[in-house]
Amino acid sequence: MGLGIREPRGGGHVPGTVKLYESDSVRSEAAVEENGELPFARSFKKSGEGGITLVPQPSDSPNDPLNWPLWKKDLTLLTICFATAVGCTLGPALAPVHAELTVEYNTSYTMVANFTGYQFLATGMAGLLCEVMTRFLGRRPIYLLSTIFMFAGALWNSLITSRDIDGFVGARVLQGVGLGAFETLVITSIGDMYFVHERGKRIAFYNLLFFGVSYFTPVLAGYITAKYGWRMQFRIMAGIFIPALVMLFLFCPEHAFVRDRKFETDLVSESSSTASVNVGEGKQEIRAAAVSVEPKKTFLQELKVYNGRFSTDGFWKLLVAPFPAMLYPAAIWVFLFQGTFVTWGIGVSVVLSQIFAAPPYNFNPTQMGYIYAAPTIGALLAYILCMLTYDRLCIYLTKRNNFTYEPEFRILLVIPVLLTGVPGLIAYGYATTTPGLHWIIPSILYGMLTIAVVLSVEMMVAVLLLKNFFTWASTFYLSDWLVKWGARKVFLTMGLIQAVICVGSVLIYVYGKVWRAMMVRVKLMERLGLKPGSMRH
């Protein structure tokens, strides 16, 4: 049992557990410290050259995204992230104007909250569908089509009349359908183009952009609404979606690519991997691969939208496959831990106008936007904290654990989440109901909750679907719950629920490896006939 993690009975390798098997332990330790990245099973060469073995191994095709020059990979990712950033402004754009919308549409806070809730529902369903459709169509057409949906939804929202509630909901649903791809597929795209040791900082950048823009949008939205009306926000967004669509067409080539299993060195045995690389000089030597005869695609050829099918599996098999994954202990824990925190974070924004647009605050849209200043800073601080400490912590624990990396090391992030998120939730309820307390105090407490939300992010398709359904459902009851119980009791209850989940994470840390081994023996996906089939190329 290493560092409190219980070993499964019977021994044997458990997927996810990684042993650094360099014969020279000193060289292994130096390589870990020099590269500052998470240690994966075959991340380091066994030869004396001191380079990093690429995981996964690139094929011999010049069109393999893993073989693209780094500038091309980064340009593709930046293009996708730009479209993501614009899409992320859609959801929180209404946060500072709930009070104004209840008056303009002569409706309740619950109905206005549903304007956002239905968008989350559409995002979750579209995210699942997009993950399936990329196996047939590839990434490129899905990104382009999704951006068109978001553009159309933003334009529709900017033209909605004061009597058209159904149209408002329809516009938000269309926006959610478009956003689903950018919530689900970006991490997959990073995996398509980058080697394991290159992914961490790119994923952190994407997450920072996603949450940073989401929390900063209400600051601008409040100002724009006060000066030009809330519809102006959607006109601006619609205008920005046009260059985003052009950039995706020009600078986001198809990067879904299926290579032979022998190149997946993180999945196959050590003996089947014979490729090596000198990362510092950019030189590659694929000793087992044949010389490529496939011509390299030109820029004009890469503009082709549809590039063929990428899976032999049927549509329904791919659609159903994520649902059994929800039964895995790790998925259940991630949903309870991350899904609830994200929901509480969104819940705060949903009921913000109920609290601050009413006496004693009587905030206008601009002042409502100011409340999001601290959450924006909190999101930035959380990612700085992750980038400075998380990899180093895992490296330290891996060395302490006889150079064996365990996925359960990630669960230690529960500690800062527990210390910031739970107190932030509970104190937020007390602060908003304390007479005479300056508004900056609730804003800072909201920022503490934001830090916890960002630190808890662990995206996967099944959890994304659950989280969005949970968030959608919460928009139906949060407003009424706040009226019946009051802010103090509501946020105290949220905090206590989250505290129980955080403390329960100890069980996942201790027994996570045992449960991973159990799920391997059960072979749930194989028994249900949902194991992925062969793919083309």
Residue 247, pLDDT > 50, answer: yes
Q: How many domains does the chain have?
A: 1
Instruction: Give the integer Cα–Cα distance in Å for 442 and 346.
Output: 15
Mean pLDDT confidence for 94-101: 89
Q: Is 131 domain-assigned?
A: yes
Q: Is residue 533 in a domain?
A: no
The mean pLDDT value of the chain amounts to 79
Report if residue 295 sits inside a domain. Answer: no
Counting residues of the chain whose pLDDT is more than 90, the rounded percentage is 26
- CB-based contacts of 197, cutoff 8 Å, min separation 6: 35, 37, 38, 40, 43, 52, 55, 279
Higher pLDDT, 536 or 112: 112
pLDDT of residue 334: 75
Residue labelled with tokens 């206008």: 364
Look at 341 and 528; give whichever has higher pLDDT.
341
* Residue 493 resides in a domain: yes
* 54 contacts 274 by C-beta, under 8 angstroms: no
Question: 17 vs 23, which has greater pLDDT?
Answer: 17
| Greater pLDDT, 200 or 27 | 200
Instruction: Tell me which residue of 425, 430, 432 sits closest to 358, measured CA to CA.
Output: 432
Report the percentage of the chain scoring pLDDT > 70: 80
3-state secondary structure 395-411: HHHHHHCCCEECHHHHH
**Is residue 308 included in any domain, yes or no?**
no
* Residue 132 lies inside a defined structural domain of this protein: yes
**What pLDDT sits at residue 271?**
35
- Quote the pTM value: 0.79
Asked if the model's pLDDT at residue 405 lies above 80, the reply is no
The pLDDT assigned to 27 comes to 42
> Domain of 154?
70-258+315-528
**Rounded to whole angstroms, how far apart are CA atoms 125 and 537?**
29
In a domain? residue 359: yes
> Is the pLDDT score of 29 beyond 70?
no
Position 21 pLDDT exceeds 50: no
DSSP state of 275: E
**Residue 196: which CATH number?**
1.20.1250.20
Q: Name the band, by pLDDT with cuts 50, 70 and 90, for residue 28.
A: very low
- Given a cut of 60, whether residue 168 has pLDDT beyond it is yes
For residue 167, pLDDT over 90 is answered with yes
User: What pLDDT is attached to residue 533?
Assistant: 56
Question: pLDDT grade, residue 74 (50/70/90)?
Answer: very high
Position 232 scores a pLDDT of 95
**What pLDDT sits at residue 462?**
57
Give a yes or no: residue 320 inside a domain.
Answer: yes
How do residues 331-384 score in pLDDT, each as one tens digit? 777 777 777 877 888 788 878 888 888 888 888 888 888 898 898 898 888 888
